[in-house]
Structure 1
Amino acid sequence: MDQSQVITSNPVAVIGAGVSGLVAAKRLAAEGFQVDVYERQRQAGGLWNFSPDPNAPFASAVYGDLQTNFPRQLMELQDYPWTNQPLFMHHTLVQQYLEGYSRNIQTNFPGRIRFIFDTEVVRLCHESYAGGHWELTYRFARLGSLRGEKSTQRYIFVVVAVGVYDQPFMPYYQGLSEWRELWKGSVTHSKFYRSPHEFEDKRVLIVGYQASGFEIANKIAAHASGLWVSSTRPLADGPGGLPCNAIPMTAVSRFDAAERRVTFTDGQSIEVQHIIFCIGYQYHQPFIKKNSSTDEARFPSGLSLDHLHEHVIYIEQPTLTFVGIVKGAVPTFLVVQAQAAFVARFFADHIRALRPRQEDAQHRLPYPLFMDYMLRLESLCDQADKGRLGGVIPGSHPIFRWTMELDLVRTKRAEIRGAFMSQNNQMTGVWSTVDTLHEYHCRFLTGSNQNFVALVPFLILSYGYKDDNDSGLTLPFEGWEEGFGQIIGNSIINSTRTLSETLGPDSNDAIRMGSQKLFQLVRDRWSRWAGTRKWAETDQLEVWKKAFEKSFFFANRDLSLQTAFHGHPRTPISSPAPRFVRGGFDGC
């Protein structure tokens, strides 16, 4: 490379202007960084930029009538609230929302965030001769051409925010390659799906039934002459389950191209005309190179991405971070806000003490791992802000907050969506934007006893990661029936056991502290509430009080015994830990 053509630049490079890149740019700008945001498309929005042609350059996985599959609360940027959008909305509204956010952050941080659209990053490598900087080479993708002019800049810090919905994952099956060769165009991936009319009067097999499989099955059910859904897990009918005319099948075993038949693991076989794979995507960052002397990718394409601390920081070169690579049924809009706040404080050197953790290289965070992750990042950011000289001006360094409402919406999202779809279909037959449906979820978010029990795991971890006992928790004692105190006590014990077994030793300290805080808080609130009542008002009140306190005595005793003998807790948050250094982590 001709070094005279390299432009030295101080800003942080953010690759991608979807939701991950946008919130990263905002958090970095709030920490005082200059930010260059590179985006292949001509506008912000990333994945949500719809391309009618699935084979166009940089086409996204969005199809024409795509609706969001999370309630609006799980797709909101906390510093840029939705206004009057429906609970579940058309993809164009999401793209407009993100484009509006990009303008908003530029207005709030004038001259600090620069968007470089229509550019594709083709090379990124860490160069020792360049002072330990990252050299980023990009080319202009004008009019869809990839033969544009190239330029190179240097950065100390880089945030990769390209998401995980670009490179389809296609597994190996016996006979699949022969099928694709013989029946060209009959096998596709959910990324390339655009319209249910493509499958009019066709016999269709859908392989995989997570978010995209659910969506596409329900879209084409009224058009296909036959519909089968293959899944490795049991499938149910009705709202949130299979369409009424779809037939559940076990996992695929093999393909017989000559007979145009698919055989499943239970021995059944069917004849189909089209196959849609809805089994996700693989990580694909071919532009990140090992060094300047090779074209070998630093991260091979596949289902895993190794050596990332907290699913974010590349341990071998911690000046490289990733935002938005967590997969599974997690609300991306919320995850990336927590990750971006963490990255910005890390780059600004406000987060220094980081312990190496055992991470899942596939970056899947099923519940309660997801909840633990969100609350842990929030806690790290809180601790970093308390250590700033002069404190923090409220709102100047936003921290994402995982709240009780968000946790309850996440827990009940399938129930909310099923009810929304059922009522909406009865009203209009389509996904409506009727104002009365905007807050349709509210009846699921009341202060009921059942909802309180559902929130116990969240409350345990939330109190466990907080340094103080502050709580806005209100307890619906008036609605408690005799014996419900025992239900709460048992729920705390059972949740403590489940969390300990699921999250492992890294979170034991938070679980133990949170359980004890929650026990004490409920007892204190009960005592204050009961003290305001005249016991003569009801014969049952004294009975309830005794039963409640008795159940909590035994529950607290059982909890103490359980945590005392549950292995070795992790190092307390306040004690010394391995420190981040430019070359990695001390003690790794």
Structure 2
Amino acid sequence: MYKSVCVIGGGACGLATVRGFLEEGGFEKVVGFEQRPSFGGIWNYHELADQNLSIPSVDPLAVVNPIKTETGYVWPNAVYDALETNTPYPLMEFRDFKFPESTPLFPHRSVVLDYISRYGEDLRQYYRFNTRIVEVRRRHKWIVRSRTVCDATAGGFKESASVPDTVEEYDAVMVATGVYDLPFIPELKGLRQWHKKYPNTILHSKTFRSPRELAGVEGNILVIGNSASGNDICYQFARYTGRNIYKSARSASRVPGGTSDLVIEMPDISHLDPNTASVFFAESKRLENVGCIIFATGFLRSLPFFAEINRSEKPLISDGSRIHGLYRHCWSYEHPGLAFIAISRYVLPFHVAEIQGIWLAKILRNKIFLPSFAAIASQERHLLSLRGNLPCFHDLLYPDDIEYMDLLMKDIRMASDSGRLPKEWTELEIALRKNTKLLKAKCLQHFERTGKRLTLHEALSWI
């Protein structure tokens, strides 16, 4: 029987997981760990950006270090100045916890951070802040080593006799650290030579804060990637400067975002030529006088505190494309008692985390029984044959995300006694999910015309 649970991460998904276990009850110890001094996870914006990029960046075992400031340690993240969600806020709401009615349909990052902070206020007593997880090992139980983030430990990155590590045993470990920490910058022909000849001209979307930073770049700017951050960087730059910006994309974007005639789309990259400051593409295309290249190419799956497991015959991480050995993209069937929260791209992470937290709590309480090891392993092999060992392995695009959550909900309903159920999909939420790209485009167009952001009530006529 599982009695003690460690939850790593104090963002929205970690909070939803902790709440799910507390509401299920029957656990003697539920402890959350957060390396920052407050809740919010990735939504904790800071103007400092991580400039210590490895170029290329392809090692999933690399560690992202914090930045020392006068007031403490900062973990730079992928949140930029003008970031607004690309998800309507009703789809981000936890059960029985609403955004203010005046909230714009696609709220600013600061509104989301405030929402998460308020949601977690009654969970503060279960968390240890300024505490970094250093190591997680499996013995007869899970051995969790944590370290205080302070000057004596260099922000939690070195042992200190004066501030010793804490070592504890837990029956289960839930990992809710997100997937936006370690930048992925692929190896391209000519990239290393370019970086050597033109230092500080290779960026990653994680380092982007504002188009003002790019306005003074001499030469053309090329963005590589066509997902949320790539689209947003191009749109913001074009709108702010009135200049052309180039975007290399392998396929059409799957996420909503702004558009501009100043964003010139280019095909996939062939190679970089630092001698002529040119980038060559498929279809024999070429872009000359390139002054800055921004990789909006996503992030590597990175779990540095599982170093021992990752050196074993059953690693969680190999090349950083996916997490191995998971049932329903969540429960580790190779390492029982271990689970990962909301790791799939394109999902509604708050909603998914809330459902997964309750689902996992019932698994650990023996109220939900899983298929056999052989059956689960067979399912993973089948999915691998369909998708390959690629970053898309865990993706859940609409309507796959709704079907996925329905599967978990079915298990929860069958196991429910007096426990509370996760939030059910409403007709409005399904309509919002179905029409998100349209709504985002309409809201951006409205803002360009009027300077005002639309509310949910004002946008209902479009769905």
Report the TM-score, using the length of structure 1 for normalisation.
0.66
Cα RMSD over matched residues?
A: 2.4
AA paired with 2:358? A
Aligned counterpart, 1:12: 5
Is 1:27 the counterpart of 2:20? The answer is yes
Aligned counterpart, 1:48: 43
Displacement after TM superposition at 1:398 (Å): 3.1
Aligned counterpart, 1:193: 208
Q: Contact 1:286/1:301 (CA < 8 Å) preserved in 2?
A: no
2:147 counterpart (139, 150, 173): 139
Displacement after TM superposition at 1:64 (Å): 1.6
In 2, distance between residues paired with 1:95 and 1:301?
32
Identity of aligned residues (%): 27
1:279 counterpart (294, 297, 321): 297
Q: Secondary structure at the match of 2:18?
A: helix
In 1, distance between residues paired with 2:229 and 2:309?
37
Q: Contact 1:201/1:225 (CA < 8 Å) preserved in 2?
A: no
Q: How is 1:528-547 mapped onto 2 (pairs within 5 angstroms)?
A: none
In 1, distance between residues paired with 2:402 and 2:117?
28
In 2, distance between residues paired with 1:234 and 1:299?
28
Q: Secondary structure at the match of 1:284?
A: coil
Q: Secondary structure at the match of 2:449?
A: helix
In 2, distance between residues paired with 1:246 and 1:308?
39
Q: 1:312 to 1:292 in 2, by over 3 A?
A: closer
Q: 1:375 to 1:96 in 2, by over 3 A?
A: same
Q: How is 1:389-428 mapped onto 2 (pairs within 5 angstroms)?
A: 391-392=417-418, 396-428=419-451
Cα deviation 1:224-278 (Å, max 9, x = unaligned): 7431011112479xx9453221111001110001111000011111121011111
In 1, distance between residues paired with 2:279 and 2:104?
40
Aligned counterpart, 2:358: 341
Is 1:380 the counterpart of 2:411? The answer is yes
Is 1:174 the counterpart of 2:197? The answer is no
Is 1:325 the counterpart of 2:347? The answer is no
More helix per residue: 1 or 2?
Answer: 1
Q: Contact 1:229/1:247 (CA < 8 Å) preserved in 2?
A: yes
Q: Secondary structure at the match of 1:26?
A: helix
Displacement after TM superposition at 1:427 (Å): 1.2
AA paired with 2:368? I
In 1, distance between residues paired with 2:269 and 2:44?
33
Q: 1:88 to 1:51 in 2, by over 3 A?
A: same
AA paired with 2:323? L
AA paired with 1:39? E
In 2, distance between residues paired with 1:235 and 1:313?
30
2:222 counterpart (174, 199, 205): 205
Q: 1:261 to 1:320 in 2, by over 3 A?
A: same
Q: Secondary structure at the match of 1:288?
A: helix
Aligned counterpart, 1:90: 108
Task: Structure 2: state its 5+ residue gaps.
Answer: 51-66, 68-73
* Greater RCO (Cα-Cα under 8 Å, separation 6 or more): 2
In 1, distance between residues paired with 2:127 and 2:435?
38
Displacement after TM superposition at 1:70 (Å): 0.9
Is 1:184 the counterpart of 2:199? The answer is yes
AA paired with 2:197? L
Q: Secondary structure at the match of 1:287?
A: helix
Displacement after TM superposition at 1:352 (Å): 1.0
In 2, distance between residues paired with 1:374 and 1:440?
29
Q: Secondary structure at the match of 2:320?
A: coil
Displacement after TM superposition at 1:76 (Å): 1.2
Aligned counterpart, 1:251: 268
Q: Contact 2:226/2:252 (CA < 8 Å) preserved in 1?
A: no
Q: How is 1:556-571 mapped onto 2 (pairs within 5 angstroms)?
A: none
Displacement after TM superposition at 1:201 (Å): 4.3
Q: Contact 2:223/2:293 (CA < 8 Å) preserved in 1?
A: yes
In 2, distance between residues paired with 1:68 and 1:293?
37
Q: Which has the larger radius of gyration?
A: 1
In 1, distance between residues paired with 2:320 and 2:7?
22
1:104 counterpart (98, 119, 122): 122
Is 1:307 the counterpart of 2:319? The answer is no
Aligned counterpart, 1:544: none
In 2, distance between residues paired with 1:213 and 1:21?
27
In 1, distance between residues paired with 2:263 and 2:310?
52
1:120 counterpart (123, 132, 138): 132
AA paired with 1:211? A
Q: 1:293 to 1:405 in 2, by over 3 A?
A: closer
In 2, distance between residues paired with 1:278 and 1:418?
21
Displacement after TM superposition at 1:404 (Å): 2.9
Q: How is 1:572-587 mapped onto 2 (pairs within 5 angstroms)?
A: none
Displacement after TM superposition at 1:302 (Å): 0.8
Displacement after TM superposition at 1:47 (Å): 0.5
Q: Secondary structure at the match of 2:304?
A: coil
Q: Contact 2:211/2:236 (CA < 8 Å) preserved in 1?
A: yes
Cα deviation 1:504-535 (Å, max 9, x = unaligned): xxxxxxxxxxxxxxxxxxxxxxxxxxxxxxxx
In 1, distance between residues paired with 2:316 and 2:307?
5
Is the deviation greater in 368-377 or in 222-231? Answer: 222-231
Q: How is 1:431-450 mapped onto 2 (pairs within 5 angstroms)?
A: 432=452, 437-445=455-463
Q: Secondary structure at the match of 2:271?
A: strand
Report the TM-score, using the length of structure 2 for normalisation.
0.83
Displacement after TM superposition at 1:326 (Å): 0.7
